[in-house]
Amino acid sequence: MPKENVKYYFGAGRRKTAIARVRIFKTPKEYSLNGKVLELSTELLAPFEVVGKKGSFGLSIKTQGGGKSGQADAIRHGIARALVQFDPEFRLSLKKAGFLRRDPRETERKKPGLKKARRAPQWSKR
C-alpha cells in the first residue's frame, strides 16, 4: 500500500554514465526536467503505462552525465524505481517489463597503441 504523509517518492536511475534523480508526486502536476517544464515522450513514461497510472503523478527530474539516449534510459529506470517506492505491488509488473534492470553496457576504454578501444592502426604489408 502507498505510504501516507510523504511529499514525494524518489528513484535514482542510471545508464552508461548518465544519472537521473526522479521524484514522483501524488498530485498530478507538470513534468519538470532540470528545472524546465516540458512534455515527456511516451517512451519515457512507459513505466506509468505498465502500472496503469499514466497522468496521475507529477514528476521532477534532474539528470547529469551521458548523452540524450543514456539520460532517457536513466529517467525511465528512475521512474520505475520511484513507482516501486510508492507501491511495492508494482514491482512484479515493472520487473516483467524490464524497467527495473539497469543496463550494464558501458563504453570500453581506449587502449594504448590502438586508435580506439579495439581499432588498430591501418597495417600495410609493403
pLDDT of residue 27: 86
Model-level pTM? 0.88
pLDDT tens-digit readout, 56-67: 899 999 999 999
Mean predicted confidence (pLDDT) in 19-23: 96
Mean predicted confidence (pLDDT) in 33-40: 90
pLDDT of residue 126: 85
Closest CA to 21 of 5, 7, 6, 32: 32
Assign domain 8-97 to its CATH architecture: 2-Layer Sandwich (3.30)
Residue environment code for 13-46, b if the CB has 16+ CB neighbours within 10 A, otherwise e: bbbbebbbbbbbeeeeeebbbeeeeeebeeebbb
Mean predicted confidence (pLDDT) in 72-83: 95
pLDDT tens-digit readout, 94-113: 999 999 999 999 999 999 99
Considering the chain, what is the average pLDDT of its residues? 92
pLDDT of residue 53: 86
pLDDT of residue 1: 65
Which residue has better confidence, 28 or 117?
Answer: 117
Domain borders along the chain are 8-97
* Nearest-angstrom CA–CA distance, 86 and 29: 17
Q: Where are the alpha helices (DSSP H) in 1-126?
A: 46-51, 68-86, 91-97
> In this structure, what C-alpha cell is assigned to residue 73?
534510459
